[in-house]
Amino acid sequence: MTQDAQRRVAVVTGGSRGIGLESARLLAGNGLAVVVCSRHQGEADAAAKEITAAGGTALGTGADVSDEDAVVALFDLAESTYGGIDVVVHAAAHAGLGRTTTVAELDLAVLDELYRTNIRGTFMVAQQAARRMRDGGAIITFSTAVVQLAMPGYGAYSASKGAIEAFTLILAREMGGRDITVNAVAPGPTATELFLEGKDDATLAGLAARAPMNRLGTPAEIAEVVAFLAGPAGHWVNGQVIQVNGGVL
């Protein structure tokens, strides 16, 4: 256990790449001990090693957030290593954004995958957070600007993220007596490795053009909002879906 009993501790799922990794870096830079969770142990270890080399405190662990036992083990590890949990950032999600199809043509197996990871996985992580977090902390989930934009072809993905928004707002009310804030961050098109994969230049240009600044967001820009919500400056923000999309239309 860390010698500094006052150190705040964060669990970051999906923390080995993209927005999750940038969030873990920022939180560690702000003095939190960070448990970096990834589906792949090697990637989690690499992220934790990078954070540690930069002067932070981090531990990597592999866990599938759609597996209940794995989620319980993740929180067990955070508590046994650092003595408690103050911030939970659930950045892990199913990569359903790349699977566009109309509702009429939807393969229900895809819907089931989205449900298992995005809805059930988020619920299980938040459930463990609600049971175990120290008072005064912050829970941050992830939605998407696609819910607000109501784009054809994204029915299943938007439905899974819309469920997260509804669930997040209810959890905020349930946690209020413990001074724990609960918010959802809803990024617009963001230049993560996962988002860029499989998209040609014309597609990316079209997505960038939807924002008045005519560009994609960066993972670091989204992570800045996460760090704000996790820290004292953002603690009066509660029960909100924060659109971080550059004004995307």
Could you give phi then psi for residue 160, rounded to 5 degrees? -65, -35
Cβ pair 15, 37 in contact under 8 A: yes
User: Which among 82, 115, 154, 157 is annotated as catalytic?
Assistant: 157
CB neighbourhood size of 123 (10 A): 17
Q: 32 phi and psi, to 5 degrees?
A: -80, 145
Q: Exposed/middle/buried for 93, CB within 10 Å: 0-12, 13-18, 19+? A: buried
Query: Is there a catalytic annotation at residue 154?
Result: no
CA distance 220 to 226: 10
Q: Please return the burial class of 157, using the count of CB atoms within 10 Å of its CB with bins 0-12, 13-18 and 19+.
A: buried
From CA 161, how far away is CA 146, in angstroms rounded? 9
Q: Residue 243: in which H helix or E strand, if any?
A: strand 241-244
Active site residues per annotation:
157
